[in-house]
Structure 1
Amino acid sequence: MADNVPALAVTGATGAVGGAVARLLAEAGVRQRLLARHTVRLPELPDTPVFAVSYLDGPQAVNALRGVHTLFMVSAAESPHRVQDQQTFVDAAVEAGVEHIVYTSFMGAAPDAVFTLARDHFATEEHIKSAGVAYTFLRDCLYQDVLPTFVQPDGVIRGPAGQGRFAPVARTDVARTAAKILLSPEQYRNQTYTLTGPAELTMDQVAGILTTVAGAAVHYLEETYGEAMDSRIKAGAARWQAEAWTSSYQAIAAGQLAPVSPDIEQLTGTPPLGFEEYLQRTRN
């Protein structure tokens, strides 16, 4: 490999997590190459080659990844064929000679996880393991960043979460943890980490925090599985998507998105943001 070719690749750099990781690595003086479907939306970083890559295009990915030792693989956009696309990309990475994949997975990833998309993440983890490369899996809880979007226009969060607790995490904490690992990936070889916020919350508590910070009343209303599915399908969601959204609430009710994990603080030396602190920061 030529000395001037970065041996670290970051995917998804047009998104919140991948973009933040890319900027943190650049600030640390680490050379990298950025991969994305739409390169015009990538952050402009000095001396950083960019490649247009789709996870479902194996030959294209092989060309973009030649000479890469470590790959930060942000999970693909949610879709019915997500697992297949990600397996195609992993196979391309292996063919290109990638030796270590750091993959953004999901908390509680398992073949029988309540949250349907956590099953997809588990399938991808297993494919990476079977490919024979080193791995580091970052199993993220639900993002704090998306919780405000759960509020419907009438100020109500609806879903079958019951009084279950979960430990949502800020994307910024995920990004800085990933960047720390990518600075010296050998230290984290073949390890799995769970990335959460510092507190377990019920949906009632989430609604209360949103009310406090935003100044407008937000309430949580529990739905049954059937009610949740019906409302989302009537709103235009495909069935697989409605099942994913609904089962994310069910996973909270089942306790699969708790307890709090110490991994972010142990890995970075800094505790993760609480939900209210995150909201206050984004308002300023």
Structure 2
Amino acid sequence: MNNQTILIIGAAGNNGMATIESLVSKQPKDTIVAAVRSTDKATLLKKKFPSIKTVIIDLDKPETLTAAYEGVTKVFMIPGNVEEREQHAKNAIDAAVQAGTVKQFLFYSVVGAEYEAILFAQQFRAGEKYLEQSGLNWTHLRTIFFQDNFFGWADGVKQGGLYFGIREGSFAPLNVADIGEMAANILTTSGHEHKAYNITGSELLSGEEMAKVFTDVTGKTVAYISPTKQQTLDSLLSTGWPQWQAEGMLELFEVFATNQAAVVSPDGEQLLGRPLTTLKDFIASNKAAFV
């Protein structure tokens, strides 16, 4: 695989960083190109990963992508948390086709994208479909809500409450470091063409069960409280979420609340070749953030 040049689009985000972390340990001789939106982000990445290359791109300006794709044979695109996800995906895919060197395009997506039932699914599925029709060898890495997202709920946990609006529903939260390792494995092995991997955590958990995990690990009682939709929306907006994204999260919570995502997929463990990180393991590793 030493002749491969891997381009990571969205490299400065948590999933991008986790992927690079795994790539440099698995395949240090590969050329890894991290595409980011600013010189500040490029500088931070180079400080953490001195051996990688960085390029500045603007997904709203397709002409900035040409140089980034020079000599690239594999791409991992992680669309950003922006309303223009669909157009950004199309621009990145078009650039890959035009480059003529890309042998594999790994697209980050979400579990349930194929149903197009909620906004986030619609956004990611539009990118998936465009990629499938591009003529490129495609792979979809569909993920579910992250364990790492609970850092955003840490203040409530510290005060003894997990305020999470999924009522009595269950789902299997997923670890970002695991996702990065899966992506790195896909990018450095063969046999993934034209496959969609559905990635969940290893255990279905209700809000009550998640609160109990926080209680057990932190040693202090954490109660589960399921706020109303309006309370959740107000909370997200008050912390700076854009309206479209906050409303999209409400849709996702409703999917969880009605057990439409109450599944555990074997795909993640198969891609990793080891057990997935449990919520208990994640909280234990980050206990200081929750006490």
Question: TM over 0.5, yes or no?
Answer: yes
Deviation per CA, 1:80-101: give whole Å up to 9, x if none: 2222222222222222222321
**Corresponding residue SS for 2:163:** strand
Select which of 132, 137, 142 maps to 1:139.
142
Report the alpha carbon displacement of residue 217 of structure 1 after superposing the two structures with TM.
3.3
Select which of 18, 32, 36 maps to 1:20.
18
Report the alpha carbon displacement of residue 137 of structure 1 after superposing the two structures with TM.
0.7
> Mean alpha-carbon deviation: is it higher for 45-54 or for 273-282?
45-54
Partner residue in 2 for 1:176:
181
Change (3 A) 1:16 1:250: same
Select which of 7, 10, 22 maps to 2:8.
10
Report the alpha carbon displacement of residue 229 of structure 1 after superposing the two structures with TM.
3.1
Q: Equivalences for 1:272-283 in 2 at 5 Å? A: 272-283=276-287
CA RMSD in angstroms, aligned pairs only: 2.3
Equivalent-residue separation in structure 1 for 2:234 and 2:25 (angstroms): 47
Equivalent-residue separation in structure 2 for 1:141 and 1:39 (angstroms): 28
Deviation per CA, 1:52-93: give whole Å up to 9, x if none: 1122221111211122111011121x1222222222222222
| Gap regions ≥5 residues in structure 2 | none
Change (3 A) 1:40 1:129: same
Number of equivalent positions: 278
Deviation per CA, 1:116-146: give whole Å up to 9, x if none: 2122111111111121211111111111111
TM-score relative to the length of structure 2: 0.86
Report the alpha carbon displacement of residue 148 of structure 1 after superposing the two structures with TM.
3.7
In the alignment, does 2:94 pair up with 1:91?
yes
The 8 Å contact of residues 79 and 88 in structure 2, kept in 1 or not, is answered as no
Partner residue in 2 for 1:32:
32
Equivalent-residue separation in structure 2 for 1:66 and 1:179 (angstroms): 21
Equivalent-residue separation in structure 1 for 2:203 and 2:278 (angstroms): 7
**Corresponding residue SS for 2:170:** coil
**Corresponding residue SS for 2:31:** coil
Select which of 160, 163, 166 maps to 1:158.
163
The 8 Å contact of residues 144 and 174 in structure 2, kept in 1 or not, is answered as yes
> Mean alpha-carbon deviation: is it higher for 247-256 or for 215-224?
215-224
**Corresponding residue SS for 2:35:** strand
**Corresponding residue SS for 2:152:** helix
> Mean alpha-carbon deviation: is it higher for 9-18 or for 168-177?
9-18
The 8 Å contact of residues 10 and 18 in structure 1, kept in 2 or not, is answered as yes
Select which of 40, 44, 65 maps to 1:41.
44
Q: Equivalences for 1:1-284 in 2 at 5 Å? A: 7-28=5-26, 29=28, 30-37=30-37, 38-44=41-47, 45-76=49-80, 78-97=81-100, 98-114=102-118, 116-151=119-154, 153=156, 154-184=159-189, 186-233=190-237, 237-283=241-287
**Amino acid corresponding to residue 197 of structure 1 in structure 2:** G
Equivalent-residue separation in structure 1 for 2:259 and 2:53 (angstroms): 43
Equivalent-residue separation in structure 2 for 1:74 and 1:207 (angstroms): 30
Identity %: 28
The 8 Å contact of residues 36 and 53 in structure 1, kept in 2 or not, is answered as yes
**Amino acid corresponding to residue 275 of structure 1 in structure 2:** L
Report the alpha carbon displacement of residue 108 of structure 1 after superposing the two structures with TM.
1.0
The 8 Å contact of residues 85 and 124 in structure 2, kept in 1 or not, is answered as no
> Mean alpha-carbon deviation: is it higher for 97-106 or for 23-32?
23-32
**Amino acid corresponding to residue 109 of structure 2 in structure 1:** S
> Mean alpha-carbon deviation: is it higher for 223-232 or for 8-17?
223-232
The 8 Å contact of residues 164 and 207 in structure 2, kept in 1 or not, is answered as no
The 8 Å contact of residues 5 and 67 in structure 1, kept in 2 or not, is answered as no
**Corresponding residue SS for 1:132:** coil
The 8 Å contact of residues 55 and 85 in structure 1, kept in 2 or not, is answered as yes
**Amino acid corresponding to residue 127 of structure 2 in structure 1:** T
| Gap regions ≥5 residues in structure 1 | none
The 8 Å contact of residues 159 and 246 in structure 1, kept in 2 or not, is answered as no
The 8 Å contact of residues 137 and 193 in structure 2, kept in 1 or not, is answered as yes
The 8 Å contact of residues 200 and 259 in structure 1, kept in 2 or not, is answered as yes
